[in-house]
Chains A and B, each alone.
Chain A
């Protein structure tokens, strides 16, 4: 069975006995073996356990599960019992997780077969996948270019057809941006929709798990299995999960008719690359042709998003990453002379440069004398940014915008310039700060590199996002394109 089949078709074929979990698993493991040396999308492979699991499924182990036999990969931020969970860091290079993340547990219970753990920016801090301890991932559309980050391994693996779907996390754009740069479909659900239990924390008020796949319909299948209340995450929301898969199956051709789609003028202002803008304009024209009503809106506090995020996220990170102390798990320096030396050298040697930068920014903005000026101020501007969306959604059903200012950049191009890397996140940060659900949908190419259309919906309206993306994908074929060499 071809690796270009939809998830809907694959699970139906397994259920009908037309293919097997073993056959699918072998097919994708072969592709990983053929291509991953070039792309570096996986930190750890799980070929042996995957084959055992597939054989068990073929013997009836996952009977009547919705995704029986579907191969997937997990971002290496999700704990998976008995498997190294590195979070892209030297600090956790030796960390074998003693339990499963809820996301891992639920996807396994849904019948999936895990082929590996995907590469990522260290502790999910980065927008290019270059901060990984395991080396950068390469973009399958042009291997001199970055895949985006932080979930770069997941996005590149799906783009290259090494897995049909992969999990990711999005704190400031870490699903939407790599999805855009790799030309795949990615969804970041509403904060609280997917459990964070067992997902290594970066910025707890922003982190949210989601997924990558070829299409909205594929994403719906994976999200369906991931989403929902979990009492082990105190911020996971107790709210029913709609039938995303069923809704897309039943969706009529007129889904976009009468839908009010807002274009935030701040996202189309200076900074947006002209060629990317043309791609986004064409995508919006397609929405209009399908009956959507396009209106200009304003999100006036957009320009505060970068500053707000780069106070709050590092502050939360400096607190979350305090747990890595060389005592209970993870990296410990050689021959510590005393406890202080153990802490400081383990953390000095175990964390990479970008992580250390953010820990220090966080420690600085939280320190005595600066707390009000930075942290408290940023919590207030965060509310202004969120309020912009509340106001906007009084008049529109959906927001459409670019994901990034330009397509992928070259490996190394921004690595020594953190500020330029941060500014790259300007279109994805606001929705993260507001906790909104968002998607990136393949919308075209500039010089052979993919461009993503960002869709944002009101809180908990993932079904609307998926519906709109699915409708767009019924009359466009950008999401079906494969990079040369990975057909």
Chain B
């Protein structure tokens, strides 16, 4: 279950109301967290995985209260202003030159970015 330290009894009541209206607490396993970390390309050790499993489960527990909202016939809102994408002329505009960008790169040579060998 969640371990919470709200500032006040009233805060606790608010929180409990938010988090209890669901079937069962979300509990991520270490393997699930390892999979998410892999998807996100985050290199984590086993201790970190274990800590994150608990923390992410707590967060997803809060988020699970979305389930109870009635969203029948509600259009998803991707953008706060519901505007159509603005179009612009397809023309070249000057940008910072390559040397400026490559000056801050970890490793470059002759105008390319260097990474470990990817093809044997």
Contact = CB atoms under 8 A, between A and B. Distances in A.
A310 B69 contact: no
Given A303-B17, A326-B106, A381-B71, A310 B63 contact: yes
| 3 closest cross-chain pairs (CB), A and B | A435-B80, A348-B43, A344-B43
Contacts of A381: 66, 69, 71, 74
A38 interface: no
Interface string A238-279: 100000000000000000000000000000011111000000
B111 interface: no
Contact of B58 (A192, A343, A360, A419): A419
B23 interface: no
A339 B115 CA distance: 7
A423 B15 contact: yes
Given A191-B80, A206-B80, A435-B80, 17 more contacts: A99-B100, A191-B81, A270-B14, A271-B11, A304-B65, A304-B69, A318-B40, A325-B41, A329-B105, A330-B106, A347-B42, A364-B56, A380-B76, A381-B69, A382-B76, A382-B77, A419-B4
Contacts of B44: 348, 356
Contact of B2 (A205, A318, A419): A419
A34 interface: no
Interface residues on B, range: 35 or more
A338 to B, nearest CB: 5
B22 to A, nearest CB: 10
A304 to B, nearest CB: 6
B92 interface: no
Given A231-B88, A379-B76, A363 B36 contact: yes
A418 B58 contact: yes
B11 A361 contact: no
Given A336-B116, A356-B42, A418-B59, A386 B88 contact: no
Interface string B56-91: 101111111111010100111111110101101000
Contacts of B24: none
Interface residues of A, number: 88
A340 B39 CA distance: 12
A56 interface: no
B116 A339 contact: yes
A363 B32 CA distance: 11
Contacts, number: 211
Interface in B1-27: 2-8, 10-11, 13-15, 17-18
A98 B79 contact: no
B86 A238 contact: yes
A406 B6 CA distance: 11
B105 A341 contact: no
A405 interface: yes
B66 to A, nearest CB: 5
A411 to B, nearest CB: 15
B85 A307 contact: no
Nearest to A236: B86
Contacts of B71: 377, 380-381, 384
A434 interface: yes
Contact of A357 (B41, B59, B61, B113): B59
A145 B14 CA distance: 24
Nearest to B58: A419
A435 B81 contact: yes
A343 B10 CA distance: 45
Most B C-beta atoms less than 10 A away, residue of A342, A343, A420:
A420
26 contacts: A96-B103, A192-B83, A235-B83, A271-B14, A303-B65, A304-B69, A307-B66, A327-B113, A328-B105, A329-B101, A329-B104, A338-B116, A338-B118, A339-B118, A344-B41, A348-B42, A356-B44, A357-B55, A357-B56, A363-B36, A378-B66, A405-B11, A413-B5, A417-B5, A419-B2, A419-B61
Given A303-B17, A361-B59, A237 B83 contact: yes
A98 B100 CA distance: 6
Interface string A336-371: 111111111101110100001101111111010000
Nearest to A314: B59
A5 interface: no
A393 interface: no
Contact of B96 (A99, A337, A433): A99
Given A234-B85, A318-B40, A307 B77 contact: no
Contacts of B69: 301, 304, 377, 380-381, 384
B82 to A, nearest CB: 9
Given A318-B40, A386-B80, A417-B4, A341 B52 contact: no
Contacts of A306: 18, 62
Given A310-B63, A406-B7, A94 B74 contact: no
B76 A98 contact: no
B63 A374 contact: yes
B41 A341 contact: no
A377 B120 CA distance: 45
A248 to B, nearest CB: 26
A323 to B, nearest CB: 11
B109 interface: no
Given A342-B115, A347-B41, A205 B79 contact: yes
A205 to B, nearest CB: 5
A426 B76 CA distance: 21
A272 to B, nearest CB: 7
A462 B116 CA distance: 51
Contacts of A344: 41-43
